[in-house]
Structure 1
Amino acid sequence: MLWACIVLPHLALDGVLRRRPDAGPLVLVDGPVNARSIVSANREAREAGLHVGQRLSAAQALLTRFDALPYDREAVDRWHRFLAAVAYRYSSEVSLLPHAIVLEVSRSMGLFGPWPRLEAMLRADLAALGFRHRITAAPTPHAAYVLAGVSDGQAVLTPDTLRRALQGVPIGKSRLPAAATEALPGMGIRTLGQLLGLPRDGLRRRFGVELLAALDRLTGELPAGLDAYRPPDVFDLRIELMHEVENIASLVFPLRRITGDLAAYLAGRDGGVQRFVLRLEHRDGKVTEVPVGLLTPEREPGMLFELARGRLDQVQLPEPVLAMRLIARDLPPFVPGGRDLFDERPANALPIEQLRERLRARLGDRAVHQLDSTTDPRPERAQAVAGQSPCGSGFSRDAFAFTNPKSPIPNPGSKASRLKPLPQQPLPQSDEPRPTWLLDRPIPLRGTAPRILSGPERLETGWWDGGEVCRDYYVVETSLGQHAWAFCAPGEQAGWMLQGWFA
């Protein structure tokens, strides 16, 4: 087996800095109100002379302007579990240790590649989320945890080399029971190598079985004994803003961050999201809810951000925003869209599903429809909005209900509808010259008489409902150079009626 350990030495501070990209000197403080001390400091604060363990009063005497925020243990726990959910993408065996995450990766390397590649993927994910880290690998989770405490990037890939890698680890960083780590240096035992060479009976008499069990878990003689972590079925993340926000534009950065977190969580679950809610929190407990719904599950971070921003842009803020919260409960399985092996679309072409969702976000749910086919051959009745037609859902070219000699005409009545080419001009060689834009109803084609490109094709149909039509259809070019589909009365080339436009 091979275990990876991710140590998160600045979890609390990174959780704050990721929502404050341009923070000045900032520290986290903890302890009694009258004796608070610094537990974490960012780079600007350290360069100004502030350091961990320093009393807040001493720091204020040294530096007049800096931000001091309370150390939030609940927030640290939330970020810890969130990153475990992200790591779940790479392994089904994930466990939590203090300020660290361990995951079994020997089977994962068959999917993601050798350890250096998998390590690089883990680091890229953590860096994109804004969390500093150290990563090591070892045959046991506890050994990986110990090694991550003394170095970054070390990889012990076989059990035979594990004891050698542990030889020089100081006892103070061995993560063994506290009673032993405090007493052993006074006995002249300062490294794990020295400790592992001592007689076990003497260690048992002096420190009990707890120390021996810890050593056996470290070397793999005993099972790790860790609780498995499972991601929750609901994503619920809240970002408290540093100041009151009065316009939508100032919410773009936290929105990008929170939707990126949702995408990382979904990748860990190997799932997607179809509905989620943005909650904008105001004073006195007031909330503005912004629902975001998709037609199909999605998890691409840029897509989720664009959709949420499109919905957010339509909101009028009643009051300043103090916090943003994203809740996603509808998390169905996600199936990536397939592409042809020889797909000739440009690399930056937007898939139709993403284009559709962006249009819905920008224009509203009712502005974009899926077309449905009908069995009526009249062009103005050949299309319907999906869900409003008695036919099945989905759009097909048969929705136009026209045929060429290779395709039979639909039969809505007791006798056949007729669409036939007349002998005056040959039909063009291209397949079914039908416009992509059909008008809801024909309208007069004004202006100079068009130039006929092909046709006519005669349509005789509609006798079963009293709406019988008899028309000669042509592909024409207008005086402005536009290609149109138009008809006139049988045998005539005047009184043109426009039916649709070609792209």
Structure 2
Amino acid sequence: MQWIALQWPPEASPARCLASEVGTNAARQEPRRAPDEALAWWALQFTPRVARVDEALLLEVSGSLRLWGGLRALMRRIETENLAPPLVWQAQSGIGLVALAELRLRAAGLRLPPPAAWPEALPLEVLSAARPHLGLLARLGCRSWGQVHALPRAGLVRRCGPQLRAALDVAFGLAPESYPWLTLPERFDQQLDLQTHVDNAPALLWAAARLLTALQHWLRARQLGVLALELAWTLDRRRLDGQPLPPGEALVVRTAEPAQAMEHLRRLLAERLARVQLAAPAVRLRLRALETAPWQASSHSLLPGERRAGEPLHVFVERVSARLGPQQVLAAEPQADHRPERRQRWRPAQQALQQKAAPVATPAWADALAPTWLLPEPLPLAEQGGRPLYHGPLQLLAGPRRIEAGWWPQEQASEETVDPVSRDYYVARNPASELLWVFRERPTARQPQATPRWFLHGLYA
């Protein structure tokens, strides 16, 4: 077996590396260290056997060495993808306890004994099971693992308990080494206590970045992408000045495509938080993944024509909608209706992308003849000798195209909603050489004696 021990010093926490993304002013509001689970989730990309032992992570990598190209290549990869560069303490050995002892010696800046003398020459201070009994073992003249290992087994167990003897058996290869391996939670729900009170919403983004990093590692370990997440913060109700306020506030961010990279979600949070006014200072953050979907990595082609530059459409739409408001970015949604004024409706583009409604089939001739600009309401036209007028008499170039719609039963729920039409559409040209889309009404069953009229309904570019 092959073990790697990892430890991050407190001053190299991932938060310090993320502070530069939001500026030094936000960095003054430093929250506590992110949950240790995030580091263990990150380590799962190298091996499925990860265990937390005291202050370090132990990785059993014997089954992964071939995948990563050997032990040295794997340790270089761990250092390259380190969460808090450039500091990460590493140690490796065939026994997990020995790797942990080497890690502790390096972290403390102590001299390492020669590898040939391991584990006999290792000091007792780096063995967790021996720490409660250092005074007793010192009085017995024992300073190293080998000296304690040479003591009579029964006496050692009677004086120090079975844990020390069991640890030494593992270190000297007399017993197998096993740990409770890390298991991922079914749902992501992490909280973070803020070290100081945060008075403005944009300053929450820096603390939220640490939770987003933990979310990214959870998603990668579970092969999922997030579709919706909720960022909530608890308010300091001691500063209400007598005004009743809720215990906390929250906002929900949604995206049209499953996401693992947090850059886009961080930008969406920044746009949304920029418009939030905190009712009271925040003292705690909570991030939850509300909706996830299986992750499918993008397929990269070797052909030059398959490479797309720029960001996807949904990323642009979601960012602009978060900045300007959902009602300011609209998209046309086709409707199952032959009437030109009802063939589409406008709705927030972000909502349309998230729901991914199936396109509605429309007549092919309508797409071919429809003008580039449709008037909000048809404009009545004057007539001269039976010919419509618009900046002069119109010359009919193509048509008629007949539309009869609005009479089917599902639209006749009430008398007010019934709007049957019977029209003949033409492409016309006026003396100024402008191309127009005009129609002439035809008598209907509701108005059989009505006089046909001409209307202008659209303009061609």
TM-score normalised by structure 2 residue count: 0.65
Identical aligned residues as a percent: 18
Structure 1 residues 249 and 7: CA distance shift in structure 2, 3 A: closer
Query: Compared with structure 1, are the counterparts of its residues 496 and 374 closer, same or farther at alpha carbon in structure 2 (3 Å cutoff)?
Result: closer
Q: Counterpart amino acid of 2:422?
A: E
Residue 207 (str. 1) matches residue 207 (str. 2): no
Per-residue CA distance 1:14-60 (angstroms, 9 max, x = gap)? 4886787799xxxxxxxxxxxxxxxxxxxxxxxxxxxxxxxxxxxxx
Report how far residue 148 of structure 1 moved. 1.8
Confirm or deny that 1:142 pairs with 2:97: yes
Amino acid at match of 1:82: A
Q: Quick one: structure 1 residues 401 and 182, their matched pair in 2 at CA, closer, same or farther if it must change by over 3 Å?
A: farther
Deviation at 1:462, TM superposition (A): 2.7
CA distance in 2, matches of 1:126, 1:186: 42
Q: Partner letter of residue 207 of structure 1?
A: L
Note if 1:402 corresponds to 2:351.
Answer: no
Pairwise CA RMSD of aligned residues? 4.8
CA distance in 2, matches of 1:213, 1:299: 42
The AA in structure 1 aligned to 2:6 is I
Counterpart check, 1:98 vs 2:54: yes
Conserved? CA contact 2:202–2:273, under 8 Å: no
Count of aligned positions? 389
1:96·1:102 contact (CA, 8 Å) conserved in 2?
yes
Aligned partner (choices 307, 314, 336) of residue 353 of structure 1 = 314
Residue identity in the other structure for 1:308: L
Residues 225 and 497 of structure 1, relative CA distance in 2, 3 Å threshold: same
Q: Give the alignment partner of residue 335 of structure 1, picking from 268, 280, 295.
A: 295
Match of 1:300 in 2: 261
Sort the Cα spacing of 1:165 and 1:462 in 2 relative to 1 into closer, same or farther, 3 A: farther
- Map residues 151-190 of structure 1 onto 2, 5 A cutoff: 151=106, 166=119, 168-178=121-131, 182=135, 190=143
Q: Structure 1, residues 51-95: CA drift from partner, whole Å, max 9, x if none?
A: xxxxxxxxxxxxxxxx9x9xx9xx67x622332233334443322
Question: For residues 177 and 230 of structure 2, what CA distance do their matches in structure 1 show?
Answer: 40
The reply on whether 1:325 has 2:325 as its aligned counterpart is: no
Name the residue aligned to 2:110.
none
Residues 1:314 and 2:275 are matched in the alignment: yes
User: Are the aligned partners of 1:259 and 1:301 in contact in 2 as well (CA < 8 Å)?
Assistant: yes
Match 1:262 to one of 192, 195, 215: 215
- Aligned residue in 1 for 2:343: 382
1:89 touches 1:269 (CA, 8 Å); kept in 2?
no
- Does structure 1 residue 235 correspond to structure 2 residue 195? no
How far residue 461 of structure 1 moved from its aligned partner, in angstroms, is 2.7
Tell me how far 1:288 sits from its aligned partner.
3.0
Structure 1: distance between partners of 2:79 and 2:255: 31
Distance (whole Å) between structure 2 residues aligned to residue 338 and residue 20 of structure 1: 30
Contact 2:119 2:171 (8 Å CA) reproduced: no
User: Retained in 2: the 8 A contact 1:457–1:474?
Assistant: no
Matched residues in 1 for 2:356 and 2:308: separation?
30
- Shift of residue 458, structure 1, vs aligned partner: 6.2
Partner residue in 2 for 1:5? 5
Tell me how far apart the structure 1 counterparts of residues 147 and 369 of structure 2 sit (CA, whole Å): 85
CA-CA distance at 1:328 after TM superposition: 0.4
CA pair 393-150 structure 1, distance change in 2 beyond 3 A: closer
d(CA) in 1 for partners of 2:174 and 2:106? 24
- Identify the range of structure 1 (214-223 vs 368-377) with the bigger mean alpha-carbon deviation: 368-377
CA distance in 2, matches of 1:434, 1:191: 89
Name the CA shift for 1:496/1:283 in 2 (closer, same or farther; >3 Å).
same
Contact 2:375 2:457 in 1 (8 A): no
- Letter of the 1:134 partner, please give it: W
When residues 108 and 368 of structure 1 are mapped into structure 2, their CA distance, relative to the original with a 3 A threshold, is farther
Distance 1:263 1:112 in 2: 22
Q: Which residue identity does 1:487 align to in structure 2?
A: W
Deviation, structure 1 residue 350: 0.9
Question: 2:212–2:262: 8 Å Cα contact kept in structure 1?
Answer: yes
Aligned to 2:244: none
3-state SS of the aligned residue for 1:468?
strand
**1:43 corresponding residue in structure 2:** none
2:227 paired residue number? 274
**CA distance, structure 1, for counterparts of residue 77 and residue 235 of structure 2:** 38
Tell me the residue number matched to 1:415: none
Q: Partner of 2:445 in structure 1? A: none
- Rounded Cα–Cα distance in structure 2 between residues aligned with 1:359 and 1:189: 68
Is residue 487 of structure 1 aligned with residue 420 of structure 2? no
Deviations 1:426-461 (A, max 9, x none): xxxxx96988x77584777xxx99xxxxx9586433
Gap runs ≥5 in structure 2: 108-113, 239-246, 380-389, 392-396, 408-419, 441-453
State whether residues 5 and 137 of structure 1, in contact with CA within 8 Å, keep that contact through their aligned partners in structure 2.
yes
Return the offset for 1:337: 5.5
Distance 2:231 2:56 in 1: 30
Instruction: Give the counterpart letter for 1:317 in structure 2.
Output: L
Partners of 1:308 and 1:284 in 2: how far apart?
Answer: 24
Confirm or deny: 8 A CA contact 1:87 1:268 kept in the other structure.
Answer: no
Q: How far apart are residue 174 of structure 1 and its match? A: 3.9
Alpha-carbon offset, residue 302 of structure 1: 0.7
SS in 2 for 1:316: coil
Report what 1:460 is aligned to.
Answer: 402
**Cα 1:360–1:386 shift into 2, 3 Å:** closer
Shift of 1:325: 0.9
In structure 2, the residue matched to 1:158 is: none
List gaps (5 residues or longer) in structure 1: 24-66, 153-160, 404-418, 420-430, 450-454
User: 1:204 deviation in Å?
Assistant: 1.1
Q: In the aligned structure 2, how far is the partner of 1:486 from the partner of 1:121?
A: 66
